[in-house]
Amino acid sequence: SATNPAGKQVNDPGGIFYTSSSGIWQTVWLEPVADSHITSLKMTPNIDAGQLELQVNTSDASENLSVEVVVRAEGEEVVTLSGQLPNLPFQIAIPAQRLWSPFDPFLYDLEVRLMENGRSLDTIDSYFGMRKVSVEAVGGMKQVFLNNEPIFQRGVLDQGFWPDGLHTAPTDDALKWDLETV
């Protein structure tokens, strides 16, 4: 009914609704994996403790499996851990952490290997930012804080729809124009 939220998916777009779209919108590929492989990573930064909580989820809970982790900052190794158990969260101390912010959008590189008896079964490259977003009361008013400091938020709503490609910009120049215009 008209009172139910419909988002952007409606049969008869108009008004605030956009052209209906669904399905694949980027390149898709198939990739073979070992029977025991990494299925996902859960990363939770804790800037107050100077740690990243990492959980390496796997397709197998075998006792023979372990995890090796390498954290890099601008190509330099910062932390290396080995022997961690998969499927359980563990803490990685990030020394002299460099906090992510809009003014310094720094990301650490992360390499995770699933090991079995000294042999690598799977490797994933990822990244993370050390940041904290919270809501704090200041003078009786709630404010958004980034990295324990109040941050003023202002921005534009860019829907990211293209008349000739829906979710995909028709050219790199069109995407550049959109960003420069904003």
How do residues 104-138 score in pLDDT, each as one tens digit? 999 999 999 999 999 999 999 999 999 999 999 99
How do residues 10-35 score in pLDDT, each as one tens digit? 667 666 666 666 667 678 889 888 89
Residue 1 predicted with pLDDT over 50: no
Q: Is 156 helix (H, G, I), strand (E, B) or coil?
A: coil
* Burial of 98: CB neighbours in 10 Å, binned 0-12, 13-18, 19+: middle
C-beta separation of 55 from 87 below 8 A: yes
Query: pTM of this prediction?
Result: 0.76
